[in-house]
Structure 1
Amino acid sequence: MSQPVIRSARPDEYDEVGRVWMESWVSTGLGEASDFLLANLRARIRREIENGWSLFVADDHGTIAAMLALHLPKLYLDMLFVAPDYQGQSLGRKLLAFTRTQMPDEMYLRCVRENEKAWRWYEREGFVYEKEEVEPSNGFMMKYYGWKRPRPAE
Structure 2
Amino acid sequence: MKIRAAKDEDLDELRSIYYESRLSHFTWTESGQVSLIDYDQATVDERILLIEEKGAIMAFISVYEPDCFIHLLFVKPGYEGKGLGSRLLAEVINESRRPLSLKCISKNQQARSFYESHGFSVVGEGLDVHDGPYVVMEKK
Q: TM-score, normalised by structure 2?
A: 0.88
Shift of 1:27: 2.4
Aligned residue in 2 for 1:84: 77
Q: 2:136 aligned with 1:144, yes or no? A: yes
Structure 1 residues 85 and 104, CA gap change in structure 2 (3 angstroms): farther
Contact 2:29 2:131 in 1 (8 A): no
Is 1:120 aligned to residue 120 of structure 2? Answer: no
Partner of 2:18: 21
What amino acid is aligned across from residue 62 of structure 2 in structure 1? A
Task: Give CA deviations for 1:106-134 in whole Å, capped at 9, x if unaligned.
Answer: 10001111010000111121111012211
Structure 1 pair 39–90 and aligned structure 2 pair: CA distance change class (3 A) = closer
- Contact 2:69–2:100 (Cα < 8 Å) also in 1: yes
| Structure 2 counterpart SS, 1:85 | coil
> Are residues 119 and 16 of structure 1, via their aligned partners in 2, closer, same or farther at CA, if it must alter by over 3 Å?
same
Indicate if the aligned counterparts of 1:19 and 1:38 stay in contact, CA closer than 8 A: no
Q: Is the Cα–Cα contact under 8 Å of residues 23 and 33 in structure 1 kept in the other structure?
A: no
C-alpha distance in 2, partners of 1:22/1:104? 31
1:133 paired residue among 118, 126, 137:
126
- Structure 2 residues not aligned, in runs of 5+: none
Give secondary structure in 2 for the equivalent of 1:56: strand
Does structure 2 retain, via aligned residues, the 8 Å contact 1:72–1:102? no
For structure 1, the residue ranges without an aligned partner over 5 or more in a row are: 149-154
Which of 12, 19, 26 aligns to 2:9? It is 12
Q: Distance in 2 between matches of 1:108 and 1:126?
A: 11
Q: Matches of residues 39-118 of structure 1 in structure 2 within 5 Å? A: 39-45=36-42, 48-49=43-44, 52-118=45-111
Q: Which has the larger radius of gyration?
A: 1
Runs of 4+ in 1 over 6 A off after TM superposition: none
Report the Cα offset of residue 139 of structure 1.
4.0
Separation in 1, partners of 2:54, 2:31:
26
